[in-house]
Structure 1
Amino acid sequence: MAQTPQQPKIVDKPWGREIWYAHTDRYAGKILEVDRGHLLSLQKHQVKHETLYLLSGIVRLTLDGEVVEWLPGQVVAIVPETVHRMEALEDSVILEVSTPELDDVVRLEDRYGRAPD
């Protein structure tokens, strides 16, 4: 059964915010707004598989130690166990579609003190 329009969940982060527009038992959808100069954790997922589309901005993307410049209109798929990080070189907006395991985050390094010691 279809739902009527509703407000998405907003999750504030030290690097910007996430807008959760879908979270079901089969998939999840988020928009990540990353402020210029901020970066997400160096992290991996054990189960979660995500596909990311850069809507705007420029991001320095690290994938298993390889660093690349990610430009608007490009897509990247991140499979489980891929060590990755995103750093916004400009204010950036990222569309994320993934499997539903949103709490499947293994933080390896984090500028904001969220990684284990």
Structure 2
Amino acid sequence: MSTSGAAARDAGLQPERTRLAWRRTTLACSVVAVLALRQALRGSGSPSEVGGAAVIALLWVAFLWAAHRRIRELAAERPPGLAPRAALAVVGCTVALAAFAVAVIL
């Protein structure tokens, strides 16, 4: 019984697990963004603090957009692989959000 590897592949629950992992990561990113925004807006309200809060909010929205796009892609029967550009965008948002969160705290 010879079938092609692509047609015989059964993804099983792997796409669902990946979708759930994206949702958990989105939730963790949201918590970090909210805490960083709260800390930034608690200060004196200087332009640098407000600017930092705006950047944090923008990074959070960009991450949410990329994550939800990937979650929708994973709903397909044969989800495509994550594009290198999308992976780079998600990693960039995550690293920048962490850097701005640390800068706000210090």
Give the TM interval when normalised to the shorter protein.
under 0.3
When normalised by structure 2's length, the TM-score is: 0.26
When normalised by structure 1's length, the TM-score is: 0.24
| Greater share of helix | 2
Which structure is higher in RCO with an 8 Å CA cutoff and minimum separation 6? 2
